Structure 1
Amino acid sequence: MTYDLAPGRMKRTPDHEDEILDIRRHQDPSRNRLTPVVQLPPVAAQAVVDALTGLVRAAHDRERLSPTPQGELKEAQEFEEGDVFMVEPPFEGFFADRYLMDFYDTGERDICSRMHLHTGLRFVRMMTGANTTIRVSSLSPITVRPSPSWTSPLDSFVDPLPGTPDGVHRDRYNVIVPPDSWVDMQIPRGVSHQFNAVGPNAVIDSVHPEESIETLREGMSGYRMMAQTIFLAKDKSPASTCADTTGPA
């Protein structure tokens, strides 16, 4: 299924949770902005990551023991990048929600998450612990903002997007979040992005300020997590396509 992005609705089939956009025709309408926040002592960073991933794992344990009834919002779900728990759902008069994601280690699964976009804007805080980096990617250059507390620039590089159709080349712009770090990212509506953790200790705290609004705008039949994602590849690629954190020679 391929189509052009419209200024209003983006999805052709609102309830389709695996809708694919033709990579040959997509152009990002804006750029992601990444702000280095703070680098922590290893013990402190690991404590934060463990506490937040522990919350996600506890929610998934609860879901296995007592599954959410049919028709109710399931707060513990699985995304391509990791297990997710909706900490704070929206309510009447407050249209945002908040997720925590316990990242998968791409090397352990030998799978990279796909490049994708959302029909509403996103704000994410990425946190890493010991021996773990996060590779943040987009089809557009990522603006890295200055930080008063950061001591060295983030590594960045450009490589070819894997898995494109024969004869199609798209540049992929990458920024590496180092171990023991917090980094914030602002993702405008409709802008491509891809997160892959290299290592076992990483978590995302993600706020979606217009999730309920985009649900209405896209014409979904009911509110649920993940439904307003549009993928830019049909298949996931192996870990070798995202595990490199230094870029091509």
Structure 2
Amino acid sequence: MKRTPDDENESFDVLAHTDADQNRVTPLLRLPAGAAMAVVEALAGLVRHAHKLESTDPTPPGQLRRAQVFEEGDVYMAEPPFEGYFADRYIMDFYDVRERDICSRMHLHTGLRFVRMMTGPDTTIRVSSMSPLVVAPSPRWEGELRMFVDDLPEVPAPDRRDRYNFIVPPNAWVDMQIPRGVSHQFNAVGPNAVIDSVHPEESIETLREGMSGYRMMAQTIFLAEERSAATTCTTT
């Protein structure tokens, strides 16, 4: 799917892209604020500690660097793939889009994803796609996800594209299944949000596309060249 396998900032024409499938969303749990904060802080702390170690004791050249950076936040590859096991898993500590005044871009991946989004107090995650999101029922979820449609901001005028959104509320766990090549976008509003993400096809893509290094950004294709202001992803 990528023109240049090693490119970490490759973008496609947003007007030419059509999702071949839809993302599936499963709202799982609403937690007490204290319990949610304990989980989020522990996972975010793991990522922050890994990045601190990387800054003081950098990974030698040619070895897998597990503390990496993605557009939505800092990440730590908790379980890398190995020969005969074609999957990896990472934890991401979200940036608060209000602090940087920029939103992450709509993007897609060369391999499918499974993500578990977890929020603590005073924090939401706005999840978006260029195709309608399919929501599965959950026996423990109370209430409905807040869902709405707006204009995708990265589309050059006078054209427009619909952007389908839902809001992960504070103190919640929400799962999302992302098929290969299907657009999606995550933006956290608030300081307490993490993702636990599994990529079942990462090492297959690495071998097939001949990437010279193992970098998570190299499996990403953006649907905009530049990031937009925080106001385009903080409204609900």
What interval of TM-score do these two structures reach, taking the shorter chain for normalisation?
A: over 0.9
Residue number among 34, 37, 41 corresponding to 2:32 in the alignment: 41
Question: Which of residues 48, 60, 73 in structure 1 aligns to 2:51?
Answer: 60
Does 1:173 pair with 2:164? yes
Q: Which segments of 5 or more consecutive residues in structure 2 lack a partner in the other structure?
A: none
Residue in structure 1 matched with residue 143 of structure 2 by the alignment: 152
Q: CA deviation at 1:221?
A: 2.7
Deviations 1:109-132 (A, max 9, x none): 101000000000000000000000
Structure 1 residue aligned with 2:84: 93
- Matching of residue 234 in structure 1 with residue 216 in structure 2: no
Match for residue 17 of structure 2 among 12, 21, 26: 26
Divergent runs of 4+, >3 A = none
- Residue of 62, 69, 83 corresponding to 1:78: 69
Query: Residue 163 of structure 1 aligns with which residue?
Result: 154
Per-residue CA deviation, residues 117-160 of structure 1 (Å, 9 max, x unaligned), is 00000000000000000000000001111111111000000000
Distance 1:220 1:60 in 2: 23
Equivalent residue for 2:132? 141
Query: Aligned partners of 2:213, 2:35: CA distance in 1, in Å?
Result: 40
> What is the Cα-based RMSD across aligned positions, in Å?
0.8
TM-score (norm 2): 0.98
Which residue number in structure 2 is paired with residue 12 of structure 1? 3
Q: Which residue does 1:206 correspond to in 2? A: 197
Percent of aligned pairs sharing the same letter: 72
Partner of residue 217, structure 1 = 208
Cα distance between partner residues in 1 of 2:3 and 2:42: 39
Q: How many residues align?
A: 236
TM-score of the pair, normalised by structure 1: 0.93
Q: Deviations over 1:217-245 (max 9, x none)?
A: 33323332221100000000010000012
- Within 2, Cα distance between the matches of 1:107 and 1:134? 12
